[in-house]
Amino acid sequence: MFVHDLVLQGKPDSVAFHGKDPVTYTAFCEQIRKYRNYFYMSGIRQGENVGLFSRNSAEFVYCYMAIVSLGAVVVPINFQLTAREVAYIVRDAKMKRLVTMEPLSLESELIQQEYVQKVKQLVIPEIKETLVQTALSDAPALPSDFDENQPCAVIYTSGTTGTPKGAVLTHKNLVSDAEAFQNMLPVHSGDNVLCVLPMYHCFAWTCAILNSLLAGAAITILEAFAPKETIVAIKEFGVTVVYGVPPMYNFLTRVGEREDLASVRYFISGGASLPEKVAQQFDTKYGKKIVEGYGLSEASPVVTLNPIQKPKYCSIGKALPGVAVKVVDPDGNDVAPGRVGEIVVRGSNVMRGYFNLPEESAKVLKNGWLHTGDLAYEDEEGYFFIVDRLKDLIIANGENIYPREIEELLYAYPGIIEASVIGVPDELRGQVARAYIVMSEGKNFNKKAIREYLQNNIAAYKIPRDFIVIDTLPKNQTGKILKRILREQASQNDKLVVNACS
């Protein structure tokens, strides 16, 4: 099955999207047909990488499905990125076209990155106007030799170097993951699924969109998470399934009442580790458990999920049906239950590789197994528990922040001679970035100027909350900065602050 065929699973008169103007599955399919014809007329063809830059909306789904139904490959782009960051993805993916909700100013950034290909922007409001005024002839069907192993999407995710890499996911990758997820989380046609997490993110796309379409369920789309507005939508539209990240559940615990979420059958958490305290407080207030899972973009993304009837606190659950998951030592040997090692994954949900990066692909795809870079252990019942990350990844509100990217920018700032970025706990966002900076002699630290500099180069959520100026960074004998010591010092200092205030 192709990803765009999932829209055919719903009953024609059933609601596909709830909102002020509900959209039936029949109307949904008709919109895809119209967008498909428009994109074909615009020159989009099989195998082409097409960017998609938009906040959550029904139009995002129409465009995505229309693009992939032509055999083209969609590249969803985080709408929080700066022009520099978007331009990098456009260049790396070799795009000729970018579908966007509003025009983007990318010309100067593309010139700086020496990308000579002209990029045509297809603006969604203008497309909608054209579709109303013009009847376009139907685009041709996909060729008979186009199969489910063809690329469907390229999901950009940063690596340990901070340079974004595009994980190439096929139709089979995405559909098989949605099917496996369905086997552990039985969503049905009578459900109404909340999509409040950003659609450009693989978690939201596979779970809230593809899995819902596979079941013929309805979807309630919110542009972004705001606690009170989210509660209103859940009550108004009778939402029964919610996907969220830990900070979102933390907020809901603080602002909601027990009856507000009475319609919801399942609460699923991903994107970051769910603190036991948050899970317990949520259960106490609403009388409902949050079910935690685990995944990564390279696996489409879901790998494990807690069984609905028997979840375990602090566990990421068990492997999805048809997905092999194990814990190995540095030599690739299986480790015994209870022993910590790296999680590796094998299955039809695992990516083909990184776009145009054969060496990087070979590093993570070894002997048929995807090496996740995450440390975990498995208990005697087959539940997995994340212990730590091999990467220096920071996760804030479910968004990945890679320190190296921030560090490179700080090093380029006049007067900064050394910089190191770590993640520190944050009650609302899970984690935030903290930067340690060494200034050259005679140079003054100007926090406002540095923040403004970063705001022009990276998304707001990546900017460190704290900037700490120190005389020297801790290093080992080879000169490598010891982030472990910075984390230990940060933890100790934070405890001292808490104790001083208590």
For 54-95, what is each residue's pLDDT tens digit?
999 999 999 999 999 999 999 999 998 999 999 999 999 999
Q: Which domains, from first to last, does the chain contain?
A: 1-146 (3.40.50.980), 394-501 (3.30.300.30)
Helix axes 276-286 and 246-255, enclosed angle (nearest 10): 40
Yes or no: say if 130 and 147 are a contact pair by the CB < 8 Å rule.
no
What are the tens digits of pLDDT across the range 2-11? 999 999 999 9
Cα separation of 376 and 242, whole Å?
A: 26
What are the tens digits of pLDDT across the range 150-175? 999 999 985 434 578 999 999 999 99
Q: Span 405-411, mean pLDDT?
A: 87
Helix (H, G, I), strand (E, B) or coil at 286: helix
pLDDT of amino acid 291:
97
Cα separation of 409 and 415, whole Å?
A: 12
Ramachandran assignment for 380, one of left (phi > 0), alpha (psi -120 to 50 degrees), beta (any other):
alpha
Q: Is the pLDDT of residue 237 over 60?
A: yes
Q: Span 14-35, mean pLDDT?
A: 96
Residue 73 pairs in a beta bridge with 49
Tokens of 300: 């489409």
What are the tens digits of pLDDT across the range 279-327? 988 999 999 999 999 999 999 999 999 999 999 988 999 999 999 999 9
**Which has the minimum average pLDDT: 117-121, 127-131, 200-204, 414-418?**
414-418
Quick count: other Cβ atoms within 10 Å of Cβ 72?
Answer: 21
Looking at every residue in the chain, the average pLDDT score rounds to 92
Cα separation of 176 and 171, whole Å?
A: 8
Q: Span 349-373, mean pLDDT?
A: 96
